[in-house]
Amino acid sequence: MDLSDRKKKILSAVIETNVKSKKAEAVSSKQLQEEYLPKLSSATIRNELNALEEMGYLTHLHTSSGRVPTKEGYEKYISELMREKKLTTREKENIQSNFANKLISIRDIIERSAKTISKATNYTSIVYSGPSNRAVIKDIKLYPVSPTTQLVVVVTNENVINELTYLGTNNEDDLKSASDILKELFIGKPLSLIKNRDFRNKVVTKELTKYKTVFDRVLDIISAESNNISNNLSIAGKDKLMEYSEFNDIEKFKKAVSIFENHESLIPIFDNSDDLEVSINVGSDDTGLEDCSVIKITCNINDGTKITAGVVGPMRMDYSKAVSVLKEVAETIENTLNTEGDYDE
């Protein structure tokens, strides 16, 4: 529905005033006149507010004469009225400084990104890297711990996998021999290949048959680790929601935190497969949170890995500022990794 210039100005003013307020206060015609539209009478502004309410873009709060935006109002604002905020030089420098030191792994990238975004926006930040194409085996070691327990250590360029398990033998010589065979087979190979069942069937040699239990168990550990989404997802600023009046209700806040703890439920939201530079979902039902919105952006690393960074906040969040921060972080990551030659391996 097309809006007149005056209605656009009033809708923008209501939204921007409501976003700035600490307790999501309704915006009155008098406030709009004093702060935004001094040349218009209160009666004219009230008429326009009534019209915007009839269109579904504004609503009343209880018996207050003031208005607050609806989900449809925010969507109209984002799609047609919002102007992207330019970050200050200081804000850009603060973001870029968090990536000044060498990035050592995908995990390091997503953790730094989540903390940077949450601090810059004051919202909860979620960053997801998706399956990594870079995880490569660098070393494998097997140690006896007890008659029924052995320690498997798998070192990759991204992290170290440690797991206590039973490998079918506790003999130190057998473990060393099995370890040597596994090193010969696996070192330099990507995890994505090693967990493939065809690879498992192809590499079973006569020497390895003796240690089939060891071999199968180590492969199971590697497969489980490569499928562990917690390694590829980082959340920062869970407590930020408490700073907004919408989440002063302790039960509502607990529900939000419980959703953030369930990484499985977050992956469909942050596993971007489209080419949208920025995606904004107002009042997202996907999160299971009431009155929340999700903004996300995806950046591509030169090896094909995608990193999706986003914020979750109240529906009355500062969308313009959040979009600018996400774009700056995505651009910094891409420039750092694609220009300077990756992170350490």
| Nearest alpha carbon to residue 9 among 32, 30, 31 | 32
Residue, of 233 and 47, whose pLDDT is higher: 47
Residue, of 201 and 117, whose pLDDT is higher: 117
Across 21-51, b (16+ Cβ under 10 Å) vs e yields: eeebbbbbbebbbeebbeebeeeebbebbeb
Q: 344 pLDDT exceeds 80? A: no
* pLDDT averaged over every residue in the chain: 83
**φ, ψ (nearest 5 deg) of residue 141:** -140, 145
Provide the pLDDT for residue 119.
95
90-104 pLDDT, tens digit per residue, is 999 999 999 888 776
Residues 6+ positions from 160 with CB-CB distance below 8 Å: 153, 154
Provide the pLDDT for residue 150.
92
Q: 239 pLDDT exceeds 50? A: yes
Q: What is the percent of the chain where pLDDT is above 70? A: 83
Which range among 73-82, 173-182, 183-192, 247-256 shows the weakest confidence by mean pLDDT? 247-256
Provide the pLDDT for residue 57.
96
The two three-digit tokens of residue 67, written as one number: 């208005």
Burial of 341 (0-12, 13-18, 19+ CB in 10 A): exposed
Provide the pLDDT for residue 345.
45
The two three-digit tokens of residue 308, written as one number: 């999706």
Residue, of 271 and 153, whose pLDDT is higher: 153
- What is the CB neighbour count within 10 angstroms for residue 171? 10
Q: What is the DSSP letter of 103?
A: P
Side chain identity at residue 119, one-letter code: K
252-306 pLDDT, tens digit per residue, is 777 777 778 777 777 777 765 555 578 898 986 655 666 788 999 988 776 667 7
User: Which CATH code fits 137-229?
Assistant: 3.30.390.60
Provide the pLDDT for residue 226.
65
User: Which CATH code fits 89-132+230-340?
Assistant: 3.30.450.40
**CATH architecture group of domain 5-81:** Orthogonal Bundle (1.10)
Q: 121 pLDDT exceeds 90? A: yes
**Could you state, in order of their start, the residue ranges of all structural domains in the chain?**
5-81, 89-132+230-340, 137-229
Residues 6+ positions from 329 with CB-CB distance below 8 Å: 95, 113, 116, 117, 120, 297, 309
Cβ atoms of residues 182 and 215 within 8 Å: yes
32-63 pLDDT, tens digit per residue, is 999 988 999 989 999 999 999 999 999 987 66
